[in-house]
Amino acid sequence: MKTFLIIGMSPFGAHLCRELCTQGCEVMIADVEPSSLEALLPFACSAKVGDCTKEEVLRSFDIPSFDACFVCVGSDFQSSLEIVSLLKELGAKKVFGKAEDDVQAKFFLRNGADRVIFPERDEARRIAVSESSDRVFDCIPLTSDYSIFEVDTSSKWVGRSIRDLDFRRRYKMSILAVKNGEKVSPMPGADYVFTGSEHIIALGHIEDVQRLKKLLE
């Protein structure tokens, strides 16, 4: 069972706590305000009240024991930077920082963050991509440029296999799964023949999926 520390009960931090606990993980939450922790007490394994910009406070948490630490402080970016730096100094295995823009991301990485999270930006991109076309049904951002997309299939593909279409070279996307209704078949082989009733779940660059969208519309 994995264990996590979430510092700062911003809306994202609170949602992350609930989701990790739902997945069977052990989660410690921390915030300078006791009231911010109350609603999450039924979920978290433990809760700590304290100023996490203070080394003595973080040291009392046994930072190296966590699989990852998430810094989800709200609008106080300076505090977030200080916490990220202290976590790494105290032996954190992995540190995630929640950023609002690329400038914040650069500072997080310079201060030792292993990964930067853009919850608002990523969700905005996901909605924009999926809702801008009737042929795109979902989008999961992986990086600033690459995402996993669920997209419709073309009538021109019916009766042809992935190999026939030379899909990866032609569309510069990798098919991870084929979805028929609620049934998902991962990693279809090159001999898979399209029926026209399926969706594909594919990994690709945002520009490549935009080109595919135009071909489907």
Q: Is 22 helix (H, G, I), strand (E, B) or coil?
A: helix
pTM: 0.69
Could you tell me the two tokens for 89? 């100094």
CATH of the domain at 52: 3.40.50.720
Which pLDDT score, from 0 to 100, does residue 133 have? 63
pLDDT one-digit tens code per residue, 101-156: 889 989 999 999 999 988 877 777 666 666 666 677 888 877 767 889 898 998 99
Look at residues 90, 117, 144 and tell me which one is the last residue of a structural domain: 117
Residues 138 and 155 reside in one and the same domain: yes
**Sign for the pseudo-dihedral over CA of 88, 93, 98, 104:** positive
pLDDT confidence bin for 78, thresholds 50/70/90: very high
Cα 53 from chain centre: 26
- Name the phi and psi angles at 204, rounded to 5: -165, 170
Which pLDDT score, from 0 to 100, does residue 200 have? 93
pLDDT one-digit tens code per residue, 148-202: 989 899 899 999 999 999 999 999 999 999 999 889 999 999 999 999 999 999 9
Mean pLDDT of the chain: 90
Average pLDDT over residues 48-53: 95
Residue 84 belongs to domain spanning: 3-117
